[in-house]
Structure 1
């Protein structure tokens, strides 16, 4: 079995590649440049999104396409130019994957397109699942809406299509956790903003396992929340992180400070949603790290 991954060298892409290899799959990673990329027995790199590349010629027998490509949301202050790049990077990669799949004589079994729980409105009260009809109206929600609309064109090709709505992904070296942990390592960790904002998190290994689970379960389609079954408030996560790192949780950071420093990007930290993985639970997916204490202990063990 073969999987093609756009964004395969990123945080989630590396974990997913390991998961696929462990289960005997071959992985093709789509990359803008082949420089310093070396093929191995079960990993091959294919150039795409360049003027001369024709990736479809190397992807004729791929069973699964997975799109994780897109500029990072926390790569810098959200200027108008950066917001354009965040949106365009997602739309352009998705359009190209739709084009490639359309060219293939034998269509893949499934197209899994990364998405985000940022599609749901900010709330300290509501609980959101894949069956929730209410969507947000901010920049993140708008980005997810047009991203999923573009990815949905795979349905017209007769391909099972999944929108993997990712929560806040936790891992030791990449993602949000290193930035969250740094103040604690410097003995200045504490409540951020109100502290009561929900953080719908998931361990990076469970992200990879859940995507593989979706591949193996053809009855799963449409939006799928990739979050742990036990979201927590940011204050609770901070206290747990302090305990595991043997550091105090004491110095509060007022929301106005983050708004001043980060601008609109501060919404990633100051706002939150309580999101549950209803579809994964309904299909009996077993989380390896269902609660925050387990997850953080694993990461910092």
Structure 2
């Protein structure tokens, strides 16, 4: 063995030993963090009378819930289950249905339901940054929202259209929401039709639940044209499909009144999918929407089977991903 080879072997061994020495503590830290997260609460209360519907979780372990009663937003630590009301809302008649937080965790985008509002709220201060009113038509319900790099997209449950709010490079809203009619294979029902919305796995199109068409189906919507095609997901039907959560290629569809989540494994384009699982839990009390943190999925129980009062109790629950 030459001196150069011997020296190289020595340095390689030293590097390997150093890597092992570094890896061991890091592995221990990761294991400790995982063990700590396992102790995080699997359910936690929301304020009495809050009437939650939407949930969003950003890069930090905090969940944000929207209130159907007055549009308030409640922020909860996933580590402790304790929370506070971040945004007080605008009062009766100004709901927050769906909501999403941006990647920078600076803004919350709120769907205002029957108030026909789209609101943008400072995610740190809870103050309203923008409030767009008079969205859609008289019987419009701005229901759910998803964020893409260039826009926030909102569904309308009673009109065959989406609303696009453009975002600039910094994620700030630009201009006013634009109406995008749903065409192609979209079939508008006589009543409540569109509900949850998500991106396709490749990010090139949107997925929207149509609860009326053919017993409840998932549709793929071209963002440039509004043209919808029906996703081939076999015999699975989504009559109560509400919130959509995409994790990798798995789409979690919350079927609220059925107290279950159906999981569809999609191809990258979101044109085809296979039902791969169904999640039920005795703690489900009509969950509506879902958001993920680590290997858990969090859902608010909307309790649509009871009339909300100031003393009605509400909670959120956590389940494991498939």
* TM-score, length basis structure 1: 0.29
Structure label with greater radius of gyration: 2
Please state which structure has a larger fraction of its residues in helix.
1
Structure with bigger RCO (C-alpha 8 Å, 6+ apart): 1
Please state which structure has a larger fraction of its residues in strand.
2
* TM-score, length basis structure 2: 0.27
